[in-house]
């Protein structure tokens, strides 16, 4: 089976799994992560099939989207085998999808990802910052009934996934201080770091303008 055909099939599988999500993890996010991974791949020598498969599949077994991640992982493995990926490639892809997320790095843990995983992790994180990142944070906050902003509520120092998922004291603006402004220093590849510096600036400008307008400054 040709690489293009394998990727087309994996894309279709991911689309079926992701199209129902409406909290910022929809297929548009997946496609952007695939596109950015392709861009980063041009600067690095990594396995293209492993990288782009992991990009397509990185949120499929996410515990926010399913109550049974293990069942989805089994389904992914069977599907990848049917598309003639080697056991080695499949193991790598599953490891990457299990260890990619921001919450995995909270509390001092930092799983060592293979280069393919570092690329997808960077692409996933770049999609959480800049203009798209601002949009996704507001969208997510709205979907979870977060306040937009409350100067009385200080940003937290997140130390666990439990804290990250506890939205009782969360605001959209605090999410920038708790996660989004930290992303530029958490990236793996230099190509991603370069892209992040402009996106970081977009968020800083947004936050400055937001607070000025909040305080009725002219
Ligand atoms: P991942 O699991 O890929 O690290 P998340 O599911 O945590 O990503 O986040 C999905 C999107 O929603 C990201 O753009 C993220 O910044 C945003 N988001 C996550 N938690 C919050 C929150 N409490 N308030 C606003 N936006 C959030
Ligand atoms: Ni993602």
Domain-wise residue ranges, the chain = 3-214
- Which residue, by CA, sits nearest to atom 7 of ligand 1? 102
Q: At what angle do helices 48-57 and 87-99 cross, to 10 degrees?
A: 40
Please identify, in words, the CATH class of the domain defined by 3-214.
Answer: mainly alpha
Give yes or no for residue 47 having a pLDDT over 80.
Answer: yes
User: What pLDDT, on the 0 to 100 scale, is given for residue 104?
Assistant: 75
* Ligand 1 geometric centre to CA of 137 (Å): 6
Cα of 69 from ligand 2 centre, angstroms: 15
CB-CB contact of 153 with 169 (8 Å)? yes
Whether pLDDT at 127 is above 80 = yes
Counting ligands in written order, the one closest to the CA of 135 is 1
Strand partners, 171: 147
Structure tokens at 182: 């930290």
| pLDDT value at 18 more than 80 | yes
> Which ligand has the minimum distance to the alpha carbon of residue 30?
2
pLDDT at 24 (0 to 100): 65
Task: State the closest ligand 1 atom to the C-alpha of 103, by its place in the atom list counted from 1.
Answer: 4
Total Cβ atoms within 10 A of residue 206: 16
Model-level ipTM above the cut of 0.90: yes
User: Is residue 40 within 8 Å of 191, Cβ to Cβ?
Assistant: yes
Average pLDDT of every residue of the chain: 93
Q: Which residue matches tokens 């902003």?
A: 149
DSSP state of 156: P
Beta-carbon-side half-sphere exposure of residue 1 (alpha carbons within 13 Å): 16
1 C-alpha to ligand 1 centroid (Å) = 36
Count of other CB atoms within 10 angstroms of residue 69: 16
Which ligand has the shortest distance to the CA of 58? 2
Over the stretch 64-93, which tens digit does the pLDDT of each residue have? 778 899 999 999 999 999 999 999 999 999
Signed CA dihedral, 202, 208, 212, 214: sign only: positive
Residues 134-177 pLDDT 10s: 999 999 999 999 999 999 999 998 888 888 888 888 999 999 99
Percent of the chain with pLDDT over 90: 79
Query: Residue 39 pLDDT more than 90?
Result: yes
Q: Which value, to the nearest 10 degrees, does the dihedral of the CA atoms of residues 76, 79, 83, 84 take?
A: 70
Residues with CB under 6 A from ligand 1: 24-25, 64, 101-102, 124, 128, 133, 136-137, 140-141, 146, 167, 170, 172, 175, 179-180
Q: How far is the CA of 123 from the centre of ligand 1 (A)?
A: 14
Give the residue whose CA is nearest to atom 17 of ligand 1. 137
Average pLDDT over residues 206-213: 98
What are 86-125's pLDDT values in tens digits? 999 999 999 999 999 887 777 667 789 999 999 999 999 9
Cβ within 8 Å of residue 28, ≥6 positions away: none
What is the model's pLDDT at position 190?
97
Sign of the CA dihedral with 68 first, then 69, 72, and 77 last: negative
- 170-206 per-position pLDDT tens digit: 999 999 999 999 999 999 999 999 999 999 999 999 9
Q: Whose CA is nearest to atom 18 of ligand 1?
A: 137
Q: Which residues pair with 147 in a beta bridge?
A: 171
Q: What percent of the chain has pLDDT over 70?
A: 97
- Residue 17 has phi, psi (to 5 degrees) of -80, -35
What DSSP element (H or E) covers 37?
helix 27-41
């Amino acid at each position: 089976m040709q690489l293009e055909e394998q990727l087309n099939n994996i894309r279709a599988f991911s689309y079926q799994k992701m199209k129902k999500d409406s909290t910022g993890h929809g297929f548009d996010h997946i496609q952007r992560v695939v596109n950015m991974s392709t861009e980063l791949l041009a600067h690095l020598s990594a396995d293209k099939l492993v990288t782009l498969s992991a990009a397509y599949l990185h949120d499929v077994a996410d515990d926010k989207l399913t109550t049974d991640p293990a069942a989805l992982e089994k389904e992914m493995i069977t599907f990848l085998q049917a598309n003639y990926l080697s056991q080695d490639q499949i193991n790598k892809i599953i490891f990457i999808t299990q260890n990619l997320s921001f919450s995995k790095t909270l509390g001092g843990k930092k799983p060592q990802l293979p280069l393919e995983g570092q690329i997808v992790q960077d692409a996933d994180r770049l999609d959480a910052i800049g203009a798209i990142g601002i949009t996704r944070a507001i969208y997510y906050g709205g979907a979870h009934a977060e306040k937009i902003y409350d100067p009385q509520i200080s940003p937290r120092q997140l130390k666990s996934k439990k804290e990250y998922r506890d939205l009782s004291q969360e605001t959209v603006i605090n999410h920038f201080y708790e996660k989004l402004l930290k992303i530029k220093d958490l990236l793996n590849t230099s190509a991603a770091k370069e892209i992040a510096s402009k996106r970081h600036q977009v968020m800083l400008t947004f936050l400055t303008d937001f607070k000025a307008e909040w305080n009725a400054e002219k």
